[in-house]
């Protein structure tokens, strides 16, 4: 049980944005369009042995892949803010990799900053093969246009740190330095993330242990910031099933140093499907049993003409957890070509802490 | 509601009983709407084509980065700029030939293509995947697809042997353009890793300066609000629009007289309706509805006719625009709903404007007033004085505009003032002429002839004004076109001085060709030439390199020159400048002209100014040796040959075989001349066609006015008949009177037309195109037009006269009975 | 549908005592640049239902002016005009038009038919715009006026007497309470004039309307119930 629906969803986001260019259509229709030619891509098999830094780099034989970073920060006045940096890769055709403009790789970058009263986002696109965008495993460097995520000379491949991340748009820019004293975490079964009944899988690892510091400038006003960050790396080739409409996904930093990854997959047939990982303060991940967890929407917000559940109660019985999450900014809408909600949250109850919530398909 | 219906039925019954009146009204409405909307359709079609072109060019509407030193630059600059935060998108461009047809190949990168340069769906790459993955797609306009005899999905090869991706039709594209993915374009054009330009999208925050990223390799070109094509062709469209509006006005003259007659004849009906209990408001409301119904019907038919006119003229317009400006206009007419709505609105608005006086009269209609159909003409006579004053004021204003104005718009304002002023002055002048005639007559019938003509004048004056305008414009445009034809032939002889033109593929081939030609005795001269493009004062200018040879010295079409012009040019210090460029830069003979070339800047003396008709760009000519020094990198592949006439054909055949040169690289003078003349002929064919229409409409205007008059003039004629003048004699007198008035009008139109021609040649053309034609008068042409005008008047008189001759005496008697 | 003709007879039998037309002290003066001409200087006339009254007088005595004022085609300076129960002088142009349409039949010397309509349409058009068209009554009118063979003709194809009969038919098509005629026989020869007058009187009796006819012919005036003479702006 892992984050594979999220893979599909995000892959869909990238694929849809490129192939449909902003046309909104139902998930099923697009999926049908994508499904046929998935066969030529490499498949996700159990028992893979990960190798770093090699696997920080791209896996072009797989259809979709991303480098996904979220950060919960505070400025010097104690005001909270969030930062997102994402690079998506998609192969639009299987087969041997071609160079130059003939490359079948297409890249998309998303960046956002969120404060309690503002949310700014930006996106950019690139073809592979000519150098406008790409990822090098060593020395680690992921970039699209001027946005980049770059490893230091002394970067530890297992900790994926230290890193420098930056992005900028007409309205905002940021630069963060990321440190980590714990190794990355393989999600699912040693990085092999199995789906439910539908047989979809991905390779999935995370680095949830980053501490971050740097500068965030919004509308010309710079602020020094510090806080926590979380990076997700996934790649896969399988598409989403036709009845899956979207998901609600949490990555939470507990004050105890523990981390929680939890999501709910909504489907037209049957109950939403819950799954996740509890990462102990020793960095060891334990899969959650769906039967012991609940995600209950508690309040909704009207954003961009649709109603989203922005407040949640999360219950994990075998951990004795009952918490309520509150968004930093309920209007954290990513009005990109494929749009979704992504923003920082905080929570209280039996446990306290901060994290990120992503909601798609609304 | 029901009451309104019955009133409308009563009003419309008039038209059923007077079908001829309905016909003239409809003819007026239809011709007004048809000509105006036809011209609008042409303009719209052309502008839509420019937009299509601009959308693909990512042209001057988008800011661009272009190579500073050469036409292409390294693709790495694109990556460097993107990595520095510049939102740029690469474009590579070149020419290919498919089935001998030259096409413009455009390679774009759809993922980064800036939205403001034409979004991807708009260009047509809606399915990005099939566009950028093998085999890719070649997007073309539907016309191009047809021209290439291709079907969607067909795979064509360029004449160089490169394979184009499968064709796909996209209606948004301009004809003659093929859009493919950038990588494919680079390989087809043999420009791997090279780009032609970068389109600049919306910037993202603070950008590093261009120089720090790209050094001096690139140059920023700011976006223009309108495309070059629009700017260049504005004057052409303005010309068409002016014609369209003129025709519209002439059409409205017809509507005015037809509506005036119908209202006049229905006055008793209106009174009866009022007496029978129809309120004034209701009557006027229903009259308004009646007019709008007629206007809509006429407008719709007019729009259909307009569509047909536009469709008939479009090929000529398209050829003109391409020949004159290189603007491709799609040959299939596509009209937007706005065009129909605007046409109907013009028709309704025009009808209401033309009916305003008649409507006002009905609104003020006293139920009891005795029948006085000529009261309004009486009051019009009072206006004659005012009209004279207005006319004088307009003519004075025309002179002021001529002296003060400098723009093209002011040129047209001058024309409008001149024509309107003259039209308004016409009745005053005619009245003056007729009064002189009256004073000098003694015999009663002759006296009556003059007096009655004068009385007839107010009713005819609108039609005569229409005739005057149509004739004057005809004379003006005709004289301009003839002047052009005459000048153009001589000019072409001078400009195309060599007999054969060669442009070799490479310097090496050029040397081979030259060597082989020296061996042929019939080639009396091989004249090397060069051609380069520079900018002077922000204007694109062609530089010609000319050999120092009698061929040019004797025949180059110099307008004015210094005494030793050719010696000046040979020495390298003198330059020949085209008329348009000299006007544009406001330089005269002997002035200095700063020319910047790759080999540095130079100041040259203007030794002569020459005619360069029809060229939207500026042009200068220098000695070929100086040219070679100034443009060292340019290939030396061009030359002209002097060959005796009979030997040109064989020579060309031989060279084509020996060096594989196609028509674009090897052409003979006579073909070039023919092509050039064809282009200009078609340009003026459009104006000539519109001209004929206008004259026809003026003829109809005259006919309707005469019909109107003939009916309302019976009371004046009846007493003469009673006094013993036969109907045939009456018809004869009527014929003489009308012919006389029409003749005077036509005679007045001739000098006015020549004045219009002068304005067109010396003011409008100069401001629109930058060149001035010599002014010629063509007496034969004038006589012909005079004949046509008189013929139109005769035809217009025919029906009323026949009617009068056949009028049963009872009808004349009844006039006495009714007028009691 | 009610039998209109029997209803008509009943109406004719029960003649109300109140006059259909009552004019009190009517004055009208025309002003030109030089002088004022008092055309009517206090005229009072009453016409009852079914009654026919001849208005005689010299040319220029004000007969036409009086008729125009009654018809609301012109405005009086003083006095009152009541048609059935409505004071006409107080009305706006629009309402006067409605009164003309619904309650007054007008017959002119010049016939004033609509040249582009057939006889049938001329007969019907006032009743149509008044929304009171009654085809039974229309065919009875056609019979009584002797127009049966002329219905498809246009006015210009009719003789003067025929035209005036059409005009009378048009005026009575709405069955108005008041019929006004201004020299209706002025353009007709004597025999035709008699004929037309007789037909008009017959129809007045048939509809029970009040009939006021301006004429300078004493012979015709004698055919009517009563005669009033207008002289120097006063009824004598």
pLDDT tens per residue across span B481-508 = 777 777 777 777 777 778 888 888 778 8
Q: Which has the higher per-residue pLDDT, B61 or B181?
A: B181
3-state class (DSSP) for residue B321: helix
* Three-state secondary structure call for residue A213: strand
Of the candidates B14, B272, B279, the beta carbon closest to that of C97 is on B279
Q: Would A2 be classed as within a structural domain?
A: no
Instruction: Indicate whether A157 belongs to any domain.
Output: yes
Report the gap between the CA of C114 and the closest CA in chain B (Å). 6
pLDDT of res. A351: 95
pLDDT value, residue B125: 43
The DSSP result for B474-522, as a single string, is: HHHHHHHHHHHHHHHHHHHHHHT-SSEEEE-SSHHHHHHHHHHHHT-TT
Q: Which residues of C touch B367 (CB under 8 A)?
A: 73
Give the one of B75, B133, B203 whose C-beta lies nearest to A130's C-beta: B75
Any domain includes A18: no
User: Contact at 8 Å (CB) between B91 and B196?
Assistant: yes
Position A59 in a domain: yes
CB atoms within 10 A of CB C152: 10
Give the 3-state secondary structure of residue B441: coil
Chains B and C touch (3+ CB pairs under 8 A): yes
Nearest chain C CA: its distance from B269 CA (Å):
6
pLDDT for residue A29: 27
- C129 → closest Cβ in B7, B13, B368: B7
What is the C-alpha to C-alpha distance for residues B256 and B295, in angstroms, rounded to an integer? 12
Residues of chain A with pLDDT under 50: 1-37
- Residues of C within an 8 Å Cβ radius of B: 68, 71, 73-74, 93-94, 97-102, 104, 106, 108, 112-117, 121, 125-126, 128-131, 154, 170
The two three-digit tokens of residue C221, written as one number: 């005036």
- Please state the rounded mean pLDDT for residues B789-799: 79
Cis peptide before B185 (omega within 30 of 0): no
Token representation of residue C40: 């009517």
What per-residue confidence (pLDDT) applies to B733? Answer: 81
What is the per-residue pLDDT for B52?
60
pLDDT digits (tens), chain C, 236 positions: 334 444 444 444 444 456 889 999 999 888 766 778 888 888 999 998 889 999 998 877 888 889 888 988 888 888 999 998 889 888 888 888 888 888 898 888 888 888 889 999 998 888 888 888 888 988 988 988 888 899 999 998 888 889 988 999 999 888 899 999 988 888 788 888 888 899 889 888 888 899 999 988 888 889 999 999 988 888 87
Give the dihedral of Cα atoms C144, C147, C151, C156; nearest 10 deg: -140
Q: Provide the β-strand partners of residue A177.
A: A164, A213
Flag if A168 and B204 touch (Cβ within 8 Å).
yes
Backbone angles phi, psi at A202, to 5 degrees: -150, 165
Residue B6 has its nearest CB partner, among C93, C125, C154, at C125
Query: Smallest CA–CA separation between A165 and chain B, in Å?
Result: 14
Classify residue A12: in a domain, yes or no: no
Kindly state the tokens that stand for B798. Answer: 């025919």
Q: What is the pLDDT of residues B231-276, one digit of tens each?
A: 556 656 666 676 677 777 777 777 877 787 788 778 888 888 888 8
A 82-101: CB under 8 A from B: 92-93, 100-101
Angle ∠(C19,C25,C29) on CA atoms, nearest 5: 130
pLDDT at A14: 35
User: Which chains touch C (3+ CB pairs under 8 A)?
Assistant: B
pLDDT band, residue B434 (cuts 50/70/90)? confident
Instruction: Closest CB to B85: pick one of A18, A19, A146.
Output: A146
Q: How many CB atoms lie within 10 A of CB C92?
A: 10
| B-interface mutation test, from C69, C91, C115, most B Cβ less than 10 A away | C115
Distances (CA, A) of B477 to A194, B483, B688, B752: 83, 10, 8, 12
Q: In what order do the strands lie in the sheet with C36-47?
A: C36-47, C21-31, C78-83, C86-87
- Which of the pair, A182 or B97, is modelled with greater confidence? A182
Residue A144: the pLDDT is 96
CB proximity A105 to B under 8 Å: no
| Nearby residues of C17 by Cβ (< 8 Å), 6 or more positions away | none
Mean pLDDT, residues B215-226 = 70
Residues from chain A contacting residue B78 (CB–CB below 8 Å) = 130, 132
Neighbours of B453 (CB within 10 A): 23
- The pLDDT assigned to B505 comes to 75
The model's confidence at residue B671, banded by pLDDT at 50, 70 and 90, is confident
Do B15 and B22 touch, CB atoms closer than 8 A? yes
SS3 per residue for B588-641: CCCCEEEEEECCEEEEEEEEEEECCCCCCCEEEEEEHHHHHHHCCCCCCCEEEE
**In this structure, is residue A34 part of a structural domain?**
no
Instruction: Find chain B residues with C-beta within 8 A of A173's C-beta.
Output: 205
* Residue A6 pLDDT: 34
Interchain CB distance below 8 Å, C97 and B282: yes
Give the whole-angstrom CA distance, residue B610 versus residue B487.
13
> How close does chain C come to B346, measured CA to CA in Å?
30
Name the residue among A101, A143, A170 with its Cβ closest to that of B183.
A101
A neighbour chains, 3+ CB pairs within 8 Å:
B
Q: How confident is the model at residue B122 (pLDDT cuts 50, 70, 90)?
A: very low
Residue of B84, B111, B186 with shortest CB distance to A146? B84
Highest averaged pLDDT of the listed ranges B244-248, B288-292, B815-819, C108-112? B288-292
Largest CA distance in chain A: 55
We report the CATH number of the domain holding residue A296 as 2.40.370.10
Residue B310 contacts residue B333 (beta carbons within 8 Å): yes
Please state the rounded mean pLDDT for residues B150-173: 85
How much is the average pLDDT of B85-93?
A: 90
B183/A102 touch (CB, cutoff 8 Å), yes or no:
yes
Q: Do B83 and A143 touch (CB under 8 A)?
A: yes
Q: Is the pLDDT of residue B794 over 60?
A: yes
Q: Which of B169-178, B444-453, B571-580, B732-741 has the highest mean pLDDT?
A: B571-580
- Token code pair at residue B740: 């006389």
Answer whether C touches A (≥3 Cβ pairs < 8 Å): no
Residues of chain A numbered 186-205 and touching chain B (CB < 8 Å): none
- pLDDT at residue B308 above 90? no
Q: In A, which residues are within 8 Å of B186 by CB distance?
A: 101
Nearest chain B Cα distance for residue A24, angstroms: 13
* pLDDT category of residue B328 using cuts at 50, 70 and 90: low
Q: How far is B6 from chain C (nearest CA, A)?
A: 6
Compute how many other C-beta atoms are within 10 angstroms of the C-beta atom of residue B245: 16
CA distance A165 to A191: 24
Contact criterion met (CB below 8 Å) for A308 and A297: no
Q: Which residues pair with A211 in a beta bridge?
A: A179, A228
Which residues on chain B are in Cβ contact (under 8 Å) with C30? none
Strand partners, A111: A85, A122
Mean pLDDT of B6-34: 86
The gap from C-alpha B188 to its chain's centroid, in whole angstroms, comes to: 38
Looking at chain A, the number of H-run helices and the number of E-run strands are: 2, 23
How far is Cα B279 from Cα A59, in angstroms, rounded to an integer?
Answer: 87
Choose from A107-111, B7-11, B222-226, B795-799 the range with maximum mean pLDDT: A107-111
Q: In DSSP terms, which residues pair with A69 in a beta bridge?
A: A85, A231
Using CA coordinates, name the residue in chain A closest to B186. Answer: A101
Query: How far is it, in rounded angstroms, from Cα B633 to Cα B507?
Result: 11
B65-79 residue pLDDT tens: 887 767 789 999 999
Q: Which residue of B has its CA nearest to A172?
A: B205
Dihedrals phi, psi of B149, to nearest 5 degrees: 55, 30
Instruction: Inspect the interface and report whether the beta carbons of B274 and C106 lie closer than 8 Å.
Output: no
Question: Rounded mean pLDDT of B515-523?
Answer: 87
Q: What are B167-188's pLDDT values in tens digits? A: 988 776 777 788 899 999 999 9
Q: Tokens in use for B548?
A: 């120092």
What ipTM was predicted for this assembly? Answer: 0.89
CB contact under 8 A, B269 and C114: yes
Measured between alpha carbons, how far is B729 from B731 in angstroms, rounded to an integer? 5
Q: Two tokens at B75?
A: 């693709």
The residue range of the domain holding A348 is 53-359
Q: Are B526 and B510 spatial neighbours (Cβ–Cβ below 8 Å)?
A: no
* pLDDT of amino acid B332: 62
Q: Which residues of A touch B203 (CB under 8 A)?
A: 170
* Chain mean pLDDT for chain B: 79
Percent of chain B with pLDDT over 90: 10
Q: Does A146 touch chain B (CB under 8 A)?
A: yes
Residues in B touching A21 (Cβ below 8 Å):
120-121, 126, 128
- Cα–Cα separations (whole angstroms), residue B103 to B100, B313, C156: 9, 25, 73
Q: Which residues of B touch C (CB under 8 A)?
A: 2-3, 6-7, 10, 13-14, 16-18, 268-269, 271-282, 367-368
Give tens-digit pLDDT for B338-397: 788 888 888 898 888 878 878 887 777 766 654 444 444 455 556 667 788 888 999 999
| C154/B17 touch (CB, cutoff 8 Å), yes or no | yes
Indicate the residue of A21, A93, A173 with minimum beta-carbon distance to B205: A173
Q: Report the alpha-carbon angle C97-C100-C102, nearest 5.
A: 110
Cα–Cα distance, B788 to B746 (Å, whole number):
10
* HSE, side-chain direction, 13 A CA sphere, residue A207: 28
What mean pLDDT is predicted for residues B283-312?
90
In a domain, A48, yes or no: no
For chain A, what is the domain count?
1
Closest CB from A104, A132, A146 relative to B133: A104
Q: CA-nearest residue of chain C to B19?
A: C116
Contacts of C178 (CB under 8 A, 6+ apart): C20, C21, C47, C70, C83, C84, C103, C104, C105, C209, C210, C211, C212
Which phi and psi angles does B231 have, rounded to 5°?
Answer: -65, -45
Question: pLDDT value at position A350?
Answer: 96
Residue A38 in domain: no
């Amino acid at each position: 049980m892992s984050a594979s629906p999220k893979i599909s969803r995000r892959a869909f986001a990238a694929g849809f944005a490129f192939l449909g260019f902003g046309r909104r259509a139902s998930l099923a229709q697009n999926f049908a369009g994508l499904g046929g030619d998935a066969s030529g891509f490499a498949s996700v098999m159990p028992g893979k042995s990960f190798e770093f830094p090699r696997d920080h780099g791209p896996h072009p034989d797989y259809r979709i892949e991303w480098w996904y970073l979220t950060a919960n920060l505070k400025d010097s006045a104690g005001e909270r803010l969030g930062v997102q940096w994402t690079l998506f890769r998609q192969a639009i055709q299987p087969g041997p990799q071609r160079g130059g403009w003939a490359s079948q790789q297409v890249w998309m970058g998303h960046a956002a900053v969120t404060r309690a009263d503002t949310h700014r986002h930006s996106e950019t696109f690139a073809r592979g093969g000519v150098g406008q965008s790409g990822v090098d495993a060593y020395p680690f460097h992921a970039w699209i246009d001027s946005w980049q995520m770059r490893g230091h000379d002394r970067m530890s491949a297992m900790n994926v740190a230290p890193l420098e991340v930056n992005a900028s748009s007409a309205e905002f820019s940021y630069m963060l330095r990321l440190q980590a004293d714990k190794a990355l975490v393989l999600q699912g079964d040693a990085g092999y993330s199995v789906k439910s009944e539908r047989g979809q899988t991905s390779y999935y690892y995370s680095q949830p242990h980053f501490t971050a510091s740097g500068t965030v400038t919004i509308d010309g006003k710079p602020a020094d910031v510090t806080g926590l960050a979380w990076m997700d790396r996934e790649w896969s080739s399988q598409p989403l099933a036709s009845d899956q409409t979207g998901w609600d996904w949490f990555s939470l930093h507990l004050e105890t140093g523990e981390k929680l990854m939890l999501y709910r997959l909504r489907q037209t047939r049957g109950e939403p499907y819950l799954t996740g990982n509890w990462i102990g303060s020793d960095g060891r991940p334990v899969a959650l049993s769906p039967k012991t967890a609940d995600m209950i929407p508690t309040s909704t917000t009207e954003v961009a003409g649709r109603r989203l559940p922005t407040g949640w109660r999360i219950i994990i019985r075998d951990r004795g957890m009952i918490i309520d999450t509150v968004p930093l900014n309920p209007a954290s809408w990513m009005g990109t070509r494929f749009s979704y909600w992504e923003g920082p949250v905080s929570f209280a109850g039996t446990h306290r802490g901060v994290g990120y919530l992503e909601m798609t398909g609304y | 509601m029901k009451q309104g219906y019955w009133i409308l039925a009563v009003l419309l019954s008039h038209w059923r009983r007077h079908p001829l009146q309905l016909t003239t009204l409809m003819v007026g409405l239809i011709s007004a709407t048809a000509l105006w909307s036809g011209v609008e359709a042409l303009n719209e079609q052309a502008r839509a084509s420019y937009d299509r072109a601009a959308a693909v060019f990512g042209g001057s509407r988008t800011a661009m980065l272009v190579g500073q030193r050469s036409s292409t630059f390294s693709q790495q600059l694109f990556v460097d700029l993107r990595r520095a935060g510049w939102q740029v998108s690469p474009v590579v461009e070149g020419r290919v030939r498919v089935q001998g047809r030259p096409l413009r190949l455009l390679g774009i990168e759809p993922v980064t293509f800036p939205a403001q340069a034409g979004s991807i769906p708009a260009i047509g790459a809606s399915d990005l995947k099939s566009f950028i993955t093998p085999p890719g797609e070649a997007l073309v306009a539907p016309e191009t697809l047809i021209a290439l005899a291709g079907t969607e999905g067909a795979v064509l090869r360029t004449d160089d042997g490169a394979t184009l991706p499968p064709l796909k039709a996209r209606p948004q594209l301009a004809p003659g353009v093929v859009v493919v993915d950038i990588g494919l374009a680079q390989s087809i054009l043999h420009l791997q890793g090279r780009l032609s330009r970068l389109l600049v999208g919306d910037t993202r925050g603070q950008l590093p300066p261009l120089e720090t990223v790209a050094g001096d390799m690139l140059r920023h070109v700011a976006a223009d609000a309108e495309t070059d094509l629009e700017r260049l062709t504005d004057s052409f469209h303005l010309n068409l629009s002016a014609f369209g509006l003129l025709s519209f006005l002439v059409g409205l003259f017809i509507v005015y007289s037809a509506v005036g007659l119908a209202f006049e004849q229905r006055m008793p009906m209106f009174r009866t309706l009022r007496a029978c209990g129809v309120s004034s408001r209701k009557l006027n409301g229903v009259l308004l509805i009646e007019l709008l119904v007629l206007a809509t019907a006429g407008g719709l038919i007019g729009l259909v006719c307009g569509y047909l006119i536009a469709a008939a003229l479009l090929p000529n317009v398209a050829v003109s625009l391409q020949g004159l400006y290189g603007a491709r206009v799609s040959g299939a007419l596509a009209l937007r709903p706005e065009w129909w709505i605007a046409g109907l609105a013009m028709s309704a608005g025009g009808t209401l404007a033309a009916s305003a006086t008649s409507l006002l009269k009905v609104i003020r209609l006293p139920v009891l007033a005795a029948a006085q159909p000529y009261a309004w003409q009486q009051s019009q006579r009072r206006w004659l004085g005012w009209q004279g004053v207005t006319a004088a004021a307009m003519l004075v204003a025309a002179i002021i505009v001529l002296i003060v104005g400098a723009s093209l718009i002011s040129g047209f304002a001058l024309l409008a003032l001149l024509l309107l002023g003259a039209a308004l002055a016409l009745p005053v002048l005619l009245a003056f002429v007729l009064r002189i005639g009256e004073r000098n007559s003694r015999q009663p019938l002759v006296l009556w002839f003059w007096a009655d003509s004068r009385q007839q004048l107010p009713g005819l004056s609108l039609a005569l004004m229409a005739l005057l305008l149509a004739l004057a414009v005809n004379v003006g445009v005709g004289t301009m076109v003839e002047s052009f034809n005459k000048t153009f032939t001589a000019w072409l002889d001078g400009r195309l001085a060599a007999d054969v033109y060669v442009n070799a593929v490479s310097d090496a081939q050029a040397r081979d060709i030259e060597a082989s030609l020296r061996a042929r005795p019939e080639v009396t001269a091989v004249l090397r030439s060069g051609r380069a493009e520079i900018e002077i004062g922000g204007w694109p200018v062609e530089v010609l390199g000319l050999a120092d040879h009698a061929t040019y010295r004797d025949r180059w079409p110099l307008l004015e020159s210094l005494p030793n012009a050719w010696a000046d040019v040979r020495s390298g210090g003198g330059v020949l400048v085209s008329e348009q460029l000299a006007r544009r830069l406001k330089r005269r003979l002997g002035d200095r002209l700063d020319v910047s070339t790759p080999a540095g800047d130079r100041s040259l003396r203007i030794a002569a100014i020459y005619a360069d008709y029809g060229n939207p760009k500026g042009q200068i000519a220098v000695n070929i040796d100086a040219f070679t020094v100034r443009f060292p990198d340019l290939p030396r592949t061009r030359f002209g040959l002097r060959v005796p006439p009979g030997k040109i054909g064989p020579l060309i055949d031989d060279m084509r075989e020996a060096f594989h040169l196609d028509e674009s690289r090897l052409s003979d003078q006579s073909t070039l001349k023919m092509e050039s003349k064809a282009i200009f002929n078609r340009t003026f064919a459009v104006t000539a066609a519109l001209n004929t229409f206008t004259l026809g409409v003026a003829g109809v205007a005259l006919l309707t006015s005469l019909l109107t008059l003939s009916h309302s003039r019976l009371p004046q004629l009846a007493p003469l008949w009673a006094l013993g003048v036969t109907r045939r004699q009456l018809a004869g007198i009527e014929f003489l009177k009308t012919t006389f008035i029409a003749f005077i009008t036509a005679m007045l139109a001739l000098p006015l037309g020549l004045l219009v021609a002068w304005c067109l040649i010396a003011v409008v053309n100069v401001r629109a195109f930058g060149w001035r034609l010599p002014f010629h008068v063509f007496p034969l042409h004038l006589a012909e037009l005079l004949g046509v005008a008189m013929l139109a008047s005769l035809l217009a008189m025919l029906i009323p006269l026949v009617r009068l001759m056949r009028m049963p005496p009872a009808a004349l008697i009844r006039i006495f009975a009714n007028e009691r | 549908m009610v039998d209109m003709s029997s209803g008509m007879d009943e109406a004719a039998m029960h003649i109300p005592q109140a006059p259909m037309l009552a004019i009190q002290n009517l004055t009208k003066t025309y002003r030109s640049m030089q002088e004022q001409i008092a055309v009517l200087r206090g005229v009072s006339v009453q016409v009852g239902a079914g009654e026919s009254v001849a208005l005689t007088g010299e040319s220029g005595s004000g007969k036409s002016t009086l008729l125009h004022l009654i018809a609301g085609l012109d405005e009086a300076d003083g006095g009152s005009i009541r048609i059935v129960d409505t004071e006409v002088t107080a009305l706006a142009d629009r309402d006067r038009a409605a009164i003309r349409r619904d309650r007054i039949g007008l017959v002119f010397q010049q016939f004033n038919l609509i040249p582009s309509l057939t006889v049938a349409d001329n007969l019907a058009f006032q009743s149509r715009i008044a929304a009171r068209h009654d085809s039974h009554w229309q065919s009875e009118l056609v019979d009584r006026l002797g127009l049966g063979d002329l219905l498809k003709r246009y006015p210009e194809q009719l003789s003067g007497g025929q035209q005036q009969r059409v005009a009378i038919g048009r005026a009575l098509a709405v069955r108005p309470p008041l019929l006004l005629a201004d020299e209706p026989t002025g353009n007709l020869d004597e025999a035709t004039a008699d004929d037309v007058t007789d037909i008009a009187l017959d129809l007045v009796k048939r509809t029970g309307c009040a009939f006021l006819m301006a004429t300078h012919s004493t012979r015709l005036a004698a055919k009517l119930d009563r005669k009033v003479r207008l002289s120097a702006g006063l009824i004598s």
